[in-house]
Amino acid sequence: MTRLALTGATVFDGTRMHPDAVLVLDGPRIEALRSDVPQGVAAHPLPGGVLAPGCIDLQVNGGGGVMVGPATDAAQLARICAAHARLGATGILPTLITDRPEVTARVIAAGIACAGVPGFLGLHLEGPHLDPRRAGAHDPALIRPMEEADCQALCKAARRLPALMVTLAPCAVTPGQISRLAQAGVIVSLGHAEASRAEAQAAFAAGARCATHLFNAMSPLGHREPGLPGAVLAGTACAGIIADGVHVAPEVLQIALAARPEGLFLVSDAMAVAGTDASEFLLNDRRVLRRGGRLVLENGTLAGADLSLPQAVAFLIRRLGIAPDRSLAMAGRVPAGLVGADAGYLAPGGPADLIHLDGDWTLQGVWQAGARLA
């Protein structure tokens, strides 16, 4: 690969905007951010817009026509990573929702075999140690408390994967188990939980660091019992949030963003249909329908989201008036920092993973390791 200078766009380096900057790529890494094109370097002019770090999506259930599940192997994980890279997420955590122990073990083994796959940052296990009262689209029959063997297996997996996020409910684990997981390097995230504020705070004190799809599949924010959402909004834990106007009302999104200037990040909660024109798919042998920007079970229950992170960024900016630098950081720098990924910034020596958005914040181009994908 040769050196390349991208010109004509504002460059968001992960923290601030640089109007009319030149971003120089040297193969898979960034060489420099400067004001002119270096001598001898080919220039590639862009029609305005913004160059930003590639998005980092920590909740990706599937894509490219496949789900993370019983048939998952390293090749399927690579397929999902490739599908989301073309949609602007150049780094992801493929996510397994509640399933049988043997499926969890298979997915962990596949993730360990994925070392070096472009875009693979680790795994997210969303369940099965959840609260059946807040099952959402998860199969309640597969939800169960954490046992000693589960805790040991997760601690072992965390030592072999680049990153491991585990969503669990406080009622399904003990504080001691949370502490052991956190000490082993697991990013413990609270979700699918009918938890009080006190229960959530105890879990955070034990080592949980995050909450999964804030407001969805959790106790509501009440004025006397603020529940898990209140513990997040009044605390310091990070939280993913789905910004599609369907999962969380725009007004509630605005309240959350005002309450937490830092720590919230965007997730897609994408499913198998991401990157395809498919109209339905199967989730634990149940049909999920793609209808009007929603993914729903046949009973109307939301089952993931029909969303990409660049679309979520555009929603924050265009619909809610959130500053572009904050919106882009919520899709890059913040989630990358949570999982310790070398991503989320455009800086000399950093990975040449980036997206180009036009003046309407619509995705126009993606580069991964310096190669243009879309």
CB atoms within 10 A of CB 113: 14
The answer to whether 68 and 99 have CB atoms below 8 angstroms apart is no
- CB proximity list for 299: less than 8 A, separation 6 or greater: none
59 with 48, same domain: the answer is: no
pLDDT of res. 262: 95
Q: Which strand (E) or helix (H) includes residue 335?
A: helix 333-339
CATH of residue 262: 3.20.20.140
62 with 41, same domain: the answer is: no
Q: Is the pTM higher than 0.85?
A: yes
36 with 150, same domain: the answer is: no
319 with 270, same domain: the answer is: yes
30 with 66, same domain: the answer is: no
CATH of residue 366: 2.30.40.10
Domain residue limits at 296: 55-339
DSSP state of 308: -
259 with 351, same domain: the answer is: no
Distance CA 203, CA 200 (A): 5
355 with 328, same domain: the answer is: no
Q: Which residues are catalytic?
A: 269
* Residuewise pLDDT in 10s, the chain (374 residues): 589 999 999 999 999 999 989 999 999 999 999 999 999 999 999 999 999 999 999 999 999 999 999 999 999 999 999 999 999 999 999 999 999 999 999 999 999 999 899 999 999 999 999 999 999 999 999 999 999 999 999 999 999 999 999 999 999 999 999 999 999 999 999 999 999 999 999 999 999 999 999 999 999 999 999 999 999 999 999 999 999 999 999 999 999 999 999 999 999 999 999 999 999 898 888 899 999 889 999 998 998 999 999 999 999 999 999 999 999 999 999 999 999 999 999 999 999 999 999 999 999 999 999 999 97
194 with 315, same domain: the answer is: yes
Number of domains in the chain: 2
130 with 253, same domain: the answer is: yes
The count of C-alpha atoms lying within 13 angstroms of the C-alpha of 32, restricted to the half-sphere facing its C-beta, is 10
The answer to whether 338 and 187 have CB atoms below 8 angstroms apart is yes
291 with 353, same domain: the answer is: no
66 with 172, same domain: the answer is: yes
pLDDT of res. 115: 87
129 with 46, same domain: the answer is: no
